[in-house]
Amino acid sequence: MGYLREAPNDWEPLRLTAEDGKPLPEVQLPSAETALEIFRWMVFGRIFDQRMLSLQRQGRIGTIGSIRGQEASAAGLGVALRQEDWLAGSYRELLTYLVHGVPAEALITLYRGGVPGPFPAGVRALPVQIVIGAQMPQAAGLGLALKLRQEPAAVVACCGDGATSEGDFHEGVNFAGAHGLPVVFFVQNNGWAISVPRARQTASATIAQKGFAYGMPAALVDGNDPLAVYEVCREALERARAGGGPSFVEAVTYRLGPHTTSDDPTRYRPDSEVQAHEGRDPLPRMRRYLEAAGIYPDGLQEQLEEEARTVLGEAVAAAELRPPVTPEQMFDLTWAKETPQAQRDRERSIAELREVGEL
């Protein structure tokens, strides 16, 4: 007896700064410029979230997930991306999409139930994924294309802790491992998949170590430490771009808001847990870091908030000016090359709507 080997449990999350914002001893920190860039996006994310939730309450957009509390992970990752890298993420990575160049107007349009694309030329991103896990094999496919074309670029494939249970998560990560593709898998473990806590999602001690099951190096990082997230992602992305293959990152963070505007988190998690995490809000933590490092200009946050509000105000206005989607557009978007019969069928559908005055 005693042949079975117990699963190891020996991970500590990587941190570059302490909760109070002070750098930990002997760490290498990103430049002030990078730190400020990350902070700027974190503030933008916070304001974006507020704005989207308020638009939803006003009935101006549909159901939307809150990203509050996860700005450090999203921005740390986003700033580490280069223009030529691909982003494959979900509704929880809206901030990373914004950092990567997707205009706020496109995302607002998406949540207004309109056509969010095409994204501007040169912005390499898959659509914001709603079907949990589906982006993972797709990211492997993007990675395969980069590898075949020998482009020095990487793909980042993002998902949540819950998503790691899906078959597609497994198939995508395994494919990238087996073919040595330039993909960084980035899991935002925010503690919950709607009402299901991380511990009931998988018995694995960490999500990070799942990377080993696919033969790739892995890191567990404090997802509320944006500098650590940035540095880990930078390493992983550079490795990928240089032909070093895939890697796997778990960023431990917390969803401070509801899952979406349709969710009532008080049904399943205690207020005390949320309160504790409010105290670990990554935004003030990052601000404390900048202040301690002496690179925080007076009134910076307020100024960035103001800027964000202006940008978002314009984006909302532009989105609301877009004419609503027509049935013709839906047909146009179904086929790139309509067959003659498909065209006849389109005309018939449109005629049916015209007949009853719905068009």
Give the residue numbers marked as catalytic. 255, 259, 268
Minimum CB separation of residue 121 from other proteins in Å reads 9
Least distance (Å) between residue 179 CB and other proteins: 8
Q: Using CB under 8 A, which of 42, 232, 290, 319 touches a second copy? A: 232
| Piece of the chain touching other proteins by CB under 8 A; list 4-12, 231-239, 242-250, 325-333 | 325-333
- Residues with Cβ < 8 Å from 94, sequence gap 6 or more? 45, 48, 65, 67, 74, 107, 128
Q: Kindly tell me which of 77 and 94 has the beta carbon lying closer to a second copy.
A: 77
Q: Where are the beta strands (DSSP E) in 93-167?
A: 155-160
Task: Say how far apart CA 230 and CA 188 lie, in whole Å.
Answer: 13
Count the Cβ atoms, other than its own, within 10 Å of residue 170.
17
Partner whose binding site includes residue 148, from ligand TPP, Mg ion, other proteins, none (CB under 5 to 8 Å by kind): other proteins
Q: Which of 98, 42, 47 is nearest to 308 (CA)?
A: 47
* Site size with ligand TPP, rule: CB under 6 A: 15
- 117 CB-side CA count, 13 A: 13
- Candidates 120, 167, 243, 270; binder of a second copy (CB under 8 A) is 167
Question: What is residue 197's DSSP assignment?
Answer: E
Minimum Å distance from CB 197 to ligand TPP? Answer: 10
Cα–Cα distance between 187 and 166 in angstroms, integer? Answer: 13
Segment 245 to 264, residues that bind ligand TPP, using CB under 6 A = 255, 259
Q: Which of residues 23-62 bind other proteins (CB under 8 A)?
A: 62
Min dist. Cβ of residue 59 to other proteins (A): 10
**Could you tell me the maximum CA-CA distance found in the chain, to the nearest angstrom?**
78
Among 66, 96, 138, 253, binds other proteins (CB under 8 A): 138
Q: What is the distance between the alpha carbons of residues 346 and 235, in angstroms, rounded to a whole number?
A: 50
Residues that bind a second copy (CB under 8 A): 1-8, 14, 28, 165-171, 174-175, 177-178, 180, 200-205, 209-219, 221, 231-232, 235-236, 239, 247
